[in-house]
Chains A and B, each alone.
Chain A
Amino acid sequence: MSESERRGLRAATPADETGGPSSAPSPLGADPVVELEAAGVELGGRPVWSDLTLTVAPGEFLAVLGPNGAGKSTLLKTLLGLIPTASGRVRVAGRRPGVGNRDIGYLPQRRSFDPSLPVRGIDVVRLGLDGDRWGVPLRSTRPVRDRLEQLLELVGATDLAGRRIGQLSGGEQQRLLIAQALAREPRLLLLDEPLDSLDLANQAAVAALIADISDTEQIAVLIVAHDVNPVLPYVDRVLYLAGGRALVGAPEVVISGPTLSALYGTPIEVLRTSDGRLVVVGHPEAASYHPQLHPHEAPAG
């Protein structure tokens, strides 16, 4: 599906009323998945951000941008109930954070796996399905096997099922981790820099995969990104965190010179390259286009 088709499709399918076959069986399909009202968080007595008001609908794709230390990962951990709020009100799927984490798929900042780790691709996905239950199942049941197969297919990782996770490339690992996050049909995906340390081709592929799943499964996605460009074609809105404050809106509104200058309090310029990429100039750590050229991680062995 091309990007224009996707956007057209999204416009024609008002996300929430139709409710796809696998969307949550909520009586009110349009209930917001995430609600923050004047929420604030403090870490070690220091306010990270405050007065954050945000509502995210099912199927919405929202990019969380901002310089390092602005509290992007903190926002995800707040929604998971791992960090308490200092002020305001937070609801995830209508409940207090931390209560309904079964409905959340979470991908923390990229982890590295030892190449010799005796964990296969399929084991990683399986952890998302029943890794938190007590006891030991020695045999997989038919429904479990079917679900795993389905998840691997969804992220295009069927042929990675038997390979050791640490011997796969960054993009391959990220696909499996996304399948893990999707295992229990979450209503919300929280992705912390899922594109970081991928090469450009894989950044585009993984971003497209996430957007596609968000669309077809009506999953709300909050994606923390250092660079907005790989996700720019798919995002509905962006949340920009800087200096303890937050801005929410359409990408072209928020990522603009005047808006960011006001947010940062210093002159910021936003340039658009001929291929449509945004480059933020004026702040050393602003969300900008950094072509991080990572060598392909060759699978060892």
Chain B
Amino acid sequence: MLADGFTWDLGSDLHQLFQFHFMVNAYRAGTVVAVVAGLIGWFLVLRRQSFVGHTLAIIAFPGASGAVLIGISAAWGYFGFCVAGALVIGAVRRGRPGEFSEESAVVGTVQAFALACGFLFVTLYHGLLEDVNTLLFGSFLGITDAQVRTLLAVGLGALVALAVIARPLRFASIDPDVAAARGVPVRAVSTVFLVVVALAVAETSQITGALLVFSLLVVPPATAQAITARPVLSAALAVALALLATWVGLAISYFTDYPSGFTITTLAFAAYLLVHGARWMATGRHRLRLAR
């Protein structure tokens, strides 16, 4: 790549890292996406709705490739298809949050078709083969100032919407029956949340690619929720872990040429393994003590 190489002088490394504008923009975009994904993902994991996040990400792929095909920005495809997908899921869904078992075949069918459509659009585009990789596995190259501004504006909008519904959403996630009895509009709150998730997925897809959205949307929140049950603290931890994975992942990718999708995901995964390993050891010791 363009770097002189990694040295043990952190000052010089940081200077190298930010000497090009594309890298500054990569960090700006990555920071926005990490905060958005960490907070919205925290609720997604609380609600056991990761599967919905995955479905929306798969829907994002034909959206983005279709947008490129007709000559508009991939970002519009991401946002448009994700939000439309969220509204459709919100409309057809029955039962409680997280209960998707009877619909999994339907969702699987839609996912397969969405991927196939995306593949068709990419093929019709006759573009560079790299484009498929970018859409599926992400890239931090060539993010424009305008893209960063869009990410920031949409991200802020999604977070404001989340902040408004946060408490009733949490109530409805943990205890839908009591929340409904207390007058929480459970269905409306769930649908608004799906749209918020769609925005987060669309944003995250633009950094990690459609297939790796979980690396920021699910893995850091799941890790944080395993560390502590304190709600505010674990949400803050989710954001911190997502930021750390993004920042360090981008740096490693810059200096080594490994793709950023891989480095970010691997860092998030390492934190997850570390925390669950520590927990497993702790409970193992506890069980041993009880057994004695």
Contacts and interface: CB of A to CB of B under 8 A. Distances in A.
A175 interface: no
B178 to A, nearest CB: 6
Contacts of B228: 118
B232 interface: yes
Contact of B170 (A80, A131, A162): A131
B225 interface: yes
Contact of A124 (B165, B167, B174, B279): B174
B175 A301 contact: no
A12 interface: no
Contacts of B282: 301
Interface in B147-188: 163-168, 170-171, 174-175, 177-184
Interface residues of A, number: 35
Interface string B265-292: 0000000000000010011001000000
A174 interface: no
A159 B269 CA distance: 34
B161 to A, nearest CB: 11
Contacts of B165: 134
Given A116-B226, A127-B174, A101 B183 contact: yes
Interface in A131-169: 131-138, 162, 164
Given A123-B231, A131-B168, A134-B168, A82 B180 contact: yes
Contacts of B232: 138
B126 interface: no
Contacts, number: 87
B25 interface: no
A106 B181 contact: yes
Give the one of A102, A116, A137, A162 with max B CB within 10 A.
A116
A134 B184 CA distance: 10
Nearest to A137: B167
Given A118-B229, A118-B234, A127-B178, A135 B163 contact: yes
Interface in A91-134: 101-102, 104, 106-108, 111, 113-114, 116-120, 123-124, 127-128, 130-134
Nearest to B227: A118
A214 interface: no
B46 interface: yes
B15 interface: no
Contacts of B182: 101-102, 106, 131-132
Interface string A257-301: 000000000000000000000000000000000000000000011
A132 B234 contact: no
A133 B168 CA distance: 6
B68 to A, nearest CB: 38
A80 to B, nearest CB: 5
Contacts of A133: 167-168
Given A118-B46, A118-B234, A164-B229, A108 B167 contact: no
A180 interface: yes
A39 to B, nearest CB: 19
Interface in A191-230: none
A127 B164 contact: no
B164 A134 contact: yes
B86 to A, nearest CB: 21
Contacts of A118: 46, 225, 228-231, 234
Contacts of B283: 300-301
A127 B177 CA distance: 12
A130 B168 CA distance: 9
A116 B171 contact: no
Which 4 pairs show the lowest CB-CB distances between chains A and B? A131-B171, A118-B225, A108-B177, A118-B229
22 contacts: A101-B182, A104-B181, A106-B178, A108-B177, A108-B181, A111-B175, A117-B174, A118-B230, A123-B229, A127-B178, A127-B179, A130-B167, A131-B168, A131-B179, A131-B182, A132-B182, A134-B164, A136-B167, A137-B167, A162-B229, A301-B282, A301-B286
Interface of A: 80, 82, 101-102, 104, 106-108, 111, 113-114, 116-120, 123-124, 127-128, 130-138, 162, 164, 180-181, 300-301
